[in-house]
Amino acid sequence: MALNAQTFKTRTLTAIIFVVVMLAGLLINHWSFFILFSVIHFGCWIEYQKLIGLIDKDYLSISSFHRNVIMLIGWCFMLFMCNRAYSINNISFKGIGQYGILILTILFCLFEIVFKKNLNVKLIGYSILGLLYISLSWGLMIGLRNDGMMFKGQTLMLDFGFGFVTPILLIASIWINDTMQYIVGSLIGKTPFSKISPKKTWEGTAGGSLLCIVVVSVVGFYAIHLPIQLCIGVAAIAAIMGTLGDLLESKLKRLANVKDSGSFMPGHGGFLDRFDSLLLATPFVWLFVYFFM
């Protein structure tokens, strides 16, 4: 297949912009981190609702109130997961999130369950699954970022620590895992891994995952001096759950009969395409960090 110069330029430019925006959001401070994942949160939700609407036409009938309030409930969970560093004029994001979840959930139940003539549990179920799939993950990502912050009273003293490192380590692990699986699969892959993603092979998945754990552990421990158990744990979760996250999103796209979840990144797909692995890996990394580190 001949290389399309214009397509290559578009993909390259988009990838560069994506990397710059991601690094800026991850590295500048906790505010840029929150803004970055708030944008990702709503982007994922919009695409999720579109996919579910293609899978089940009944979901297209949900009201604008339902469509928007469920996203806001999810975003309020992200606010609730914020710590003392996230406050403006002594008004904490955590408090806003707590009351926001309560008020919006009551309103949602009143309009969608109590006042609606025809209750459709299936449609509400799709939205609840969206909360678990998207909002839970990005809320816990904020929780990971909180770890390591030190306070004197209400003042942030140190915006660094595991919370600064763990999200970057997780994202890097997923990228390395995808790269290693692709390389190993291209070289020795023969046995199909899943009908959902025909290009994946058992050899590529297993070999790439193992190399991911080795590379992340060696670089993280010897070059960056991170705890070896953190490196191994995060890399292993990224390799296993990241792969499953990719397959889950591929299944949703197959059911919806679309190639990409969206088009916010020309040549690279949508938000769910870019963050499918991270969505499933994040809750397990949160559990690992908070219970074993």
pLDDT in 10s for each residue of the chain, 293 residues: 344 566 667 677 877 888 899 999 998 888 999 999 999 999 999 999 999 999 999 999 999 999 999 999 999 999 999 988 898 888 899 999 999 999 999 999 999 888 777 888 999 999 999 999 999 999 999 999 987 665 555 656 555 555 678 999 999 999 999 888 888 888 887 888 878 877 888 888 899 899 999 999 999 999 888 899 999 999 999 999 999 999 999 999 999 999 888 777 766 678 999 999 999 999 999 999 989 87
SS (HEC) of 73-89:
HHHHHHHHCCCCCCEEC
Q: Which helix (H) or strand (E) is 267 found in, with range? A: none
Burial call 113-140: b when 16+ CB within 10 Å, e when fewer: eeeeeeeeeebbebbeebbebbbbbbbb
Q: Where are the alpha helices (DSSP H) in the chain?
A: 5-27, 30-55, 64-80, 93-109, 121-130, 136-146, 162-188, 202-218, 228-256, 271-292
3-state DSSP assignment of residue 28: coil
| Cα Rg, the chain, nearest whole Å | 20
Cβ contacts of residue 120 below 8 Å, gap of 6+?
A: 58
The CA-to-CA distance between both ends of the chain, in Å, stands at 49
Q: 194-206: per-residue pLDDT in tens?
A: 788 778 888 888 9
Interatomic CA distance for residues 68 and 46, integer angstroms: 9
* Amino acid 63: pLDDT: 92
Which tokens belong to 280? 């499933």
Contact 244, 205 (CB under 8 A): no
3-state DSSP assignment of residue 264: coil
Interatomic CA distance for residues 249 and 276, integer angstroms: 6
Pairing label, strands 87-88, 91-92: antiparallel
* Amino acid 149: pLDDT: 64
3-state DSSP assignment of residue 87: strand
* Amino acid 2: pLDDT: 42
Interatomic CA distance for residues 91 and 120, integer angstroms: 38
Pairing label, strands 149-152, 91-92: unpaired
Q: 242-276: per-residue pLDDT in tens?
A: 999 999 999 999 999 998 887 777 666 789 999 99
Q: 40-49: per-residue pLDDT in tens?
A: 999 999 999 9
Contact 123, 59 (CB under 8 A): yes
3-state DSSP assignment of residue 91: strand
Interatomic CA distance for residues 144 and 140, integer angstroms: 6
Q: Which of 292, 290, 282 is nearest to 140 (CA)?
A: 282
* Amino acid 148: pLDDT: 67
